[in-house]
Amino acid sequence: MKKSLFVPALVVALVIVGCSAFQQQKAQAVRPDEGEFKNLKVLPHNITHDELINTMRTFARSLGTRCDHCHAAAPEGSKEHLDFASDAKPEKEVARAMIRMTRTINGDYVSKVAEHGTSVTCYTCHRGKVVPDSTLPPAETPQQQPPAAAPHS
C-alpha cells in the first residue's frame, strides 16, 4: 500500500519542483549582453540585445530609413552585412548628437512642464522623413479683396 502512494507523490513533487523552477526563470531579470556591442558612445553599455534592437528599429521608423542609413557596409568576406561598430558614416555621429539633444530637451525642459509623461522623440520632428519638414508655420498669404460691385444702372 505504501508503494501505491509513492508514485503519485513523486509525480506531484516533480510537478511542483518543475513549476517552481519555471517561475524562478521567468522572474530573473534580463541579462545585459556582455561585450557583444562595440563602440557604444551614447547608449548604455549594459543595454540588452532586445533593447538595442528595439531602439534601432524606433530610430529607423521615425526617420523612414533602414539600418544602412547610419551603419557602414561590412568589409568584404565578413559574415555580417553591416559593420555596426564602424563610425565611417557621418550620419551615425549626427544620430548620436540627436540622441544627446533629445535627452537634454527631455531632461532640462520637457520634464519640468510635461504633466502626462510627454517626451520629445525622433518622431516628434522627423515624422518618417530623414530631413524634417520646415518647423516654421506657413507664410500668411494676403487675402484677396472681393472685386467691388459694379454700380447698378
10 Å Cβ neighbour count for 47? 17
- What pLDDT is recorded for position 1? 47
pLDDT string in tens for the chain (153-residue length): 455 665 566 556 555 656 555 555 545 454 444 567 899 999 999 999 999 999 999 999 999 999 999 999 999 999 999 999 999 999 999 999 999 999 999 999 998 887 777 899 999 999 999 999 887 777 777 766 666 666 665
Q: Indicate the pTM of the whole model.
A: 0.65
Within the chain, what is the greatest distance between any pair of CA atoms? 123
The residue extents of the domains of the chain are 49-126
